[in-house]
Amino acid sequence: MRLDYKGISIFYEKYGEGDTVVFLHGFLENSSMWNAIFPQLISGHQVVTIDLLGHGKTGCLGYVHTMEMMADAVNAVLNILNVTSCLLIGHSMGGYVALALAKMKTLTIWGICLMNSTYQEDSKERKQIRQRAIKMAKTNYKALVQMSFVNLFSAESKGAYEEEMSLALEEALKTPVQGYIAAQDGMCKRHGALSFLKSFKGKVLLIIGTEDAIVDAPSIIEEVKGTSLNYVKIRSGHMSHIENRKELTYRLNQFIEK
């Protein structure tokens, strides 16, 4: 399905009936990343998947897509579907968008799952890496994506999931350069959300890959000690939906039903 939004088209899909669970994909991904997972979670729920700004079949709104802009687009889709309350599951960048949407308080959010994601803002070093990537994207986009994509997987997964990695890379390369640049710049501009999560009234789960080179797991685990925020570690790199789909699905089912 498609929604006309500020001169572009937003692609989304809806399945099932019941309480709404919204899946938000990560950077250089699209809603197809959930295809092998959501059928196992659909029983008793309405599942909504959305292509975020500049990704998949959704257009770009310029060369900066802040997480708030992406959240606004998600909110527009949910309004069309008459969704007033939902649970959010966000992978990587999708987790940042989930946090931005929850902060808007336009919906009743009864749960947030940050999957291979974080509430932390970018470090100075990470922001510099993003800005260098933006420059490189303008001249050598394919090589940039291929190079950065390999680092998302654990060493073990690189040998065990070659076909799945290849298919995921194909989807990543479908992301237009403009979408790449706009998302990178938007992620640079986000702020930390730990204090917000501590005061959040719904349930929270952080799913941490034991071999995730992108997320700063040790500092997250230290920061959430003694809070109501829950985390689980699963054996994977940054791409747990490929590297450890079985345990991920189990953990998501637990979180949704709890």
Count other Cβ atoms within 10 Å, centred on residue 213. Answer: 13
Beta pairing, strands 45-50 & 108-115: unpaired
Residue 150 structure tokens: 């390999």
Beta strands in 104-257 (DSSP E): 108-115, 203-209, 230-234
Residue 22 structure tokens: 């919204």
Beta pairing, strands 45-50 & 8-15: antiparallel
The whole-angstrom separation of Cα 203 and Cα 82 is 22
Q: State the DSSP code for 126.
A: H
Q: Are 49 and 12 in contact (CB under 8 A)?
A: yes
- Give pLDDT tens digits along the chain (258 positions): 999 999 999 999 999 999 999 999 999 999 999 998 888 877 789 999 999 999 999 999 999 999 999 999 999 999 999 999 999 999 999 999 999 999 999 999 999 999 999 999 999 999 999 999 999 999 999 999 999 998 999 999 988 999 999 999 999 999 999 999 999 999 999 999 999 999 999 999 999 999 999 999 999 999 999 999 999 999 999 999 999 999 999 999 999 987
Q: Are 87 and 19 in contact (CB under 8 A)?
A: yes
Q: What is the pLDDT of residue 253?
A: 93
CA 133 to chain CA centroid, Å, is 19
CA atoms within a 13 Å half-sphere pointing along the CA-CB vector of 94: 28
Q: What is the pLDDT of residue 41?
A: 78
Cβ partners under 8 Å of residue 135, min gap 6:
none
Q: What is the pLDDT of residue 186?
A: 98
